[in-house]
Structure 1
Amino acid sequence: MTTIRDVLDTLDGAYPAALAESWDTGIGLTCGDPDDPVTGVLLAVDVDAVTVAEAVAAGAQLLLTHHPLLFRPVQSVAADSAKGSLVHRMIRSGLAHVAAHTNADTAAGGVNDALAATLGLGGTRPLVPHPDGVTGSGRVGALAEPLTLAEFAALVAERLPGTAGGIRAAGAPDRIVGTVAVCGGAGDSYLSAAAASGADVYLTSDLRHHVVGEFVADPANPAVVDVAHWAGEWPWLPVAADLLRTAHPDLTVTVSTTRTDPWTVHAAAPPVR
């Protein structure tokens, strides 16, 4: 019989808590008894009303997400609050929740390696290495064949799960890109690292107008590709699912394909003149 503690041990072996950023206080078990048995696990990027309902409907006893539920300090988990209602729903349903956040971002085989592999990058290395040289934030790797920026953006749109916002790129469309830096999630703090890495293009999420405009104005800097936060992190879920299936063959492990990206509508603008 597999327990929640057994699953936590497996996750900590692959994505050690020690690799989490110092500000990341939301990782690990949010609710649930570590000694409870578990037969079903649902993996999702976000813990919200939709994925909690999906886990309960699937008969899972554990919801594993990338994003934490209680990321910032709270004073109450009352049932009439947004986060509190989720905690109450999970406890009443016998559903535990665990988050693997920046520890899964930086670990070998984690979120950024999954993103790089999805894009077909080879010879990858950390964008911002940790002292061990193996782990670190982001990844840098090479495409099998150089592409124009426009072609690379199309490749990204093909490889990542679709969202209403789609893919945006900043830079000359015909610029040739061969070396790619990536950072799943919000990666504007690593723009300077991407420039120093020798990458031709930097792919991340949640980028801002003035920051991008000033960055690409310098021709020595990489082009930039902005993807939906949810889409850039989703490729890790099947990897983590395979990890759990291998370690615990008795578990039923399911990956949610429900799009929890908050942007739901996209209206195409007329061509730029």
Structure 2
Amino acid sequence: MFATSLTSGTSGRGGPASPSVADIVAALDTAYPRELAESWDAVGLVCGDPADRVERVLVCVDPVAATVDEALEIGAQLIVAHHPLMLRGVHGVPADTSKGSLVHRMIREGVALFCAHTNADSANPGVSDALAAVIGLDVRRPLVPHADGADTGLGRIGELSEPESFATFVDRVGAALPATTPGVHGAGDPERPIRTVAVSGGAGDGFLDTATAAGVDAYVTADLRHHPAGEHLEQPGTVPALVGLTHWASEWPWCGQAAEVIGGTGNVEVHVSTRCTDPWNVRANGSTK
């Protein structure tokens, strides 16, 4: 767990009526249009009554037992998550399965679940904009635009206000994101000057060649695998230095962005999850998160 949290909007007690689930879904669909989602994705309302009123919302990366616990502890009527609960097709949600048990629990407790995944990745602003912002980048364009000249797409390319060494830049990224047990790691010359940077929230080693073609000094993403990263660094010529993050940490800044969208719907409290749902929690020296 880490200390950072955010509350947006106003109290659900008194004053104007709280927004409905449908009101909040409409605001999120405007900010993160569903047509931007990849064809294989599963986004939108997973469970819950669109007509129900919402006084309190929890925004998180992962819809898992820990965040459902957190939602119930704060009395939330809606969870807004980045990752889908059921990405692949299912034929049932029996309560004796891990995901089915969450669905049954949320329905029993009157908690709706909404997921914005690759549509939030590609929206402007979206997941990678939030990552770029906390690092201190001035965003210029998408790394992988949806179409020529589009301001939507996956990843972002930005610039630091002043160049700094790669070692300093890795420290900058580490300080900007919530702590995880694996931490933040870099691959490159520690003294190399860094000014232009590509970022991609979530697993981004599929864009290594794209970042190289963009001519950036460094590329920040999650879930970098050994062979793609090693082959990238062995290429002739100058290639971007790499900064590796955990998947959860790379996407957590989006929660604050989504909270602002939800807070704009009216009389509702919005809380950003303070629970690290990164699966890696033990290091070889015995330390735990």
TM-score, structure 2 length as denominator? 0.90
CA shift for structure 1 position 265: 1.4
The superposition leaves residues 233-259 of structure 1 with CA deviations (integer Å, 9 ceiling, x where unpaired) of 01111111112112x220111111111
Aligned partner of residue 78 in structure 1, secondary structure: coil
Kept in 1, the 8 Å contact 2:43–2:114? The answer is yes
Encode CA deviations 1:15-54: one digit per residue, 9 max, x unaligned: 0000111121x21011111111111110011000010011
Cα deviation, residue 130, structure 1: 1.2
Query: Could you tell me which residue of structure 2 aligns to residue 73 of structure 1?
Result: 89
**TM superposition shift of 1:171:** 1.5
Tell me if structure 1 keeps the 8 A contact 2:122–2:155. Answer: yes
- Per the alignment, residue 194 of structure 2 pairs with 177
Partner of 1:48: 64
* Cα deviation code 1:53-96 (max 9, x no counterpart): 11011111100010110011122210000100000000000000
Query: Are residue 217 (structure 1) and residue 247 (structure 2) matched?
Result: no
**Structure 2 residue aligned with 1:234:** 252
Cα distance in 2 between the residues matched to 1:11 and 1:23: 20
Q: Secondary structure at the match of 1:231?
A: helix
Deviation of the 1:220 alpha carbon: 2.1
Is the contact between residue 55 and residue 267 of structure 2 (CA under 8 Å) also seen in structure 1?
yes
Letter in 2 for 1:116: A
Alpha-carbon distance in 1 for matches of 2:70, 2:156 = 32
CA contact (8 A) 2:174 2:183 kept: yes
**Could you say which residue in structure 1 is the equivalent of 2:169?**
152
Q: CA RMSD, aligned part only?
A: 1.3
State the match for 1:116 in structure 2.
132
In 2: Cα distance, 1:158 partner to 1:136 partner: 27
Q: Where has structure 1 moved over 2 Å in runs of 4 or more?
A: none
* Separation of aligned partners in 1, 2:209 and 2:89: 30
Shift of 1:179: 0.5
User: 1:245 is matched with which residue?
Assistant: 263
Letter in 2 for 1:256: S
Q: Which residue of 1 aligns with 2:116?
A: 100
Contact 2:32/2:120 (<8 A) preserved:
yes
For residues 82-117 of structure 1, give each alpha carbon's deviation from its aligned partner in whole angstroms, at most 9, with x where no partner exists: 100000000000000000101001101111111111
Q: What runs of 5+ residues in structure 2 fail to find an aligned partner?
A: 1-16
Q: Which segments of 5 or more consecutive residues in structure 1 lack a partner in the other structure?
A: 269-273
- Tell me the distance in 1 between the aligned counterparts of 2:192 and 2:254: 29
**d(CA) in 2 for partners of 1:214 and 1:149?**
20
Contact 2:132 2:139 in 1 (8 A): no
The code of the aligned residue for 1:35 comes to: A
TM-score norm. by structure 1 comes to 0.95
Give the secondary structure class of the aligned counterpart of 2:154. strand
CA contact (8 A) 2:139 2:158 kept: yes
Q: Which amino acid aligns with 1:224?
A: L
Partners of 1:123 and 1:105 in 2: how far apart?
15
- In 2, Cα distance between the equivalents of 1:256 and 1:239? 13
Partner of residue 260 from structure 1, selected from 252, 277, 281: 277
Q: Which residue, out of 175, 179, 183, partners 1:166? A: 183
Contact kept, 8 Å, 2:129 with 2:139, in 1: the verdict is no
Paired AA for residue 92 in structure 1: R
Provide Cα deviations, 1:177-204, integer angstroms capped at 9, x if missing partner. Answer: 1100000000111111101111111110
Shift of 1:169: 1.0
Aligned residue in 2 for 1:31: 47
Aligned residues: 267
